[in-house]
Amino acid sequence: MIAENLNKVEDKIAESCIKCGRNRSEIRLIAVSKTQPVEIIKEVLNTGINNLGENKAQELRDKSELITGDFNWHFIGHLQTNKVKYVIKAAEFIHAVDSIKLAEEINRKSKEMNKNQKVLLEIKTSDEATKFGLANEKEIFEVAQFCKNSSNLNLVGLMTMAPFTDDESVIRNCFIELRELKEKLNKNGFAISELSMGMTNDYTIAIEEGATMLRIGTAIFGDRPTGRQAEFINNAGTK
Ligand SMILES: *Cc1c(COP(=O)(O)O)cnc(C)c1O
């Protein structure tokens, strides 16, 4: 089933790339494996996926000890400073930096590990999609500058979530805002290349607006296990 799902996703990605004249190789597909058990994740890796996304710190830590190989982990969730220690070892990219305090802690822990940590800033482009993310432009520039000045941080991009809606123009505007913000930062001395945007509901629009990282869960794995079932699977898979 997963191979079939993945084929469908790849077909749609290819179609969108043709539509807007982009090259598939510019786009990284991150399979969002949160709540999924280890066996299923291994199955996905066998289909050639080489980027996995998790949004809970301990879940990433536990899974990264059980699943190893030639692929990258992405931490895509909201990160509290006291949990940075759980993700820093495994995460190639941390997508949702939304404060100087968090950037500071990531830098401190990266330094201890002698690691250069790739980070993205989470930008709040809508009020509904998430309560997290930077919304104020002055603040965005301050956090970006802080990252730039930090010895062990490498600011590579911006990330956003669009609201879950059928109104395509609302979604598109979020993605346009993110792209324009990237251009503005780059005009002001930053060198940011990644736009992490696009989920199951909206990834074709994200591609059209310049996404370089798609974070797709449901379209690849099917519906996520919920509630007690999810907890059970997590415990079974990671303990
Ligand atoms: C869960 C999640 C996704 C994937 O969502 P789907 O709708 O299942 O594709 C993407 N980004 C973030 C930050 C998530 O938490």
* C-beta separation of 98 from 116 below 8 A: no
- Ligand 1 contact, 216 CB (< 6 A): yes
- Ligand 1 contact, 55 CB (< 6 A): yes
The tens digit of pLDDT for each residue in 141-185 reads 999 999 999 999 999 999 999 999 999 999 999 999 999 999 999
Looking from the CA of residue 203, the nearest atom of ligand 1 is 9
Average pLDDT, stretch 205-225? 96
Looking from the CA of residue 76, the nearest atom of ligand 1 is 13
The tens digit of pLDDT for each residue in 40-91 reads 999 999 999 999 999 999 999 999 999 999 999 999 999 999 999 999 999 9
Angle at the Cα of 217 from the Cα atoms of 212 and 221, rounded to 5 degrees:
135
User: How far apart are the CA of 159 and the centre of ligand 1, in A?
Assistant: 12
User: How far apart are the CA of 219 and the centre of ligand 1, in A?
Assistant: 10
User: How far apart are the CA of 161 and the centre of ligand 1, in A?
Assistant: 9
User: How far apart are the CA of 220 and the centre of ligand 1, in A?
Assistant: 11
Cα of 33 vs its chain's centroid, Å: 11
| pLDDT value at 9 more than 50 | yes
174: left (phi over 0), alpha (psi -120 to 50) or beta: alpha
Q: Which domains are present in the chain?
A: 2-232 (3.20.20.10)
pLDDT at 236 (0 to 100): 43
What are the DSSP calls for 21-48, one per residue?
Answer: T--GGG-EEEEE-TT--HHHHHHHHHTT
- Ligand 1 contact, 34 CB (< 6 A): yes
